[in-house]
Amino acid sequence: MMQMITDNTIQYEDKDLLVVYKPAGLATQSARVTSPDLVSAVTRYLKGAPVYVVHRLDQPVEGLLVLAKTKQAAAGLNKQLQTGTLNKQYYALVHQEAEKLPAEGTLVDHLWKNPQTRKAEIVAQASGKGKCAKLHYRVLTKEADTALLDVRIETGRFHQIRAQLAHAGFPILGDQKYGTQASMEHSEQLGIKNVSLFAYAVAFTHPKTGKQMAFQAKSENPAISHLLTAMN
């Protein structure tokens, strides 16, 4: 089935780049021609013009992505990504398990992508495997055994937020890959089927004009939207 561009897909567009919304369940870019993906849909929208991927979101994750239209814009945005000046903010809906979730915190781990399981694993720094992964979180609100976190990552590792929060004892709801039996049962009770992780904001310097750019989107995840609405 061909993935179509909707009114919500293109959040911003100019001659150099686009800011787009990716729904949960759609791959950012797929190697299989028969599998729908966001980049292919945007390429069709641009009538075959090139699209350069700057960063990605896991298939079950929704949120904002920046795509470049030119090699020069891609190079400038990639440099910001590497230096940490392309900022991404996430909402994560987590299961609190038996422990109490601190109001805020910083998680620092060494993550290694296991090629057999295609999962990110926490490894000892002395192992020589993996790369440092660092994130900051703040609890926005709690409801029963559920908490909504505002997450900012300093590094962009494979499955970073999902793996680090699960390792800390606060797995993201709807995450079948990193969740526990308790978190998956809680997800089922709430009717959550996709990973409740949402890249809600992105900010960067325009690679050509030097203008500061910032964008926010609304989640299509009812559980996240419910808690955000309850806060206001």
Active site residues: 58
Running DSSP on this structure, what letter comes out for residue 128? S
Q: Who's near 170: CB < 8 A, 6+ residues apart?
A: 94, 95, 96, 97, 99, 101, 147, 149
Distances (CA, A) of 26 to 39, 124, 175: 10, 33, 15
Distance separating alpha carbons of residues 214 and 132, to the nearest angstrom: 27
CA proximity to 205, closest of 88, 16, 76, 90:
76
Residue with tokens 């350069």: 52
The three-state secondary structure class of 183 is helix
Quote the tokens at residue 2.
Answer: 């061909």
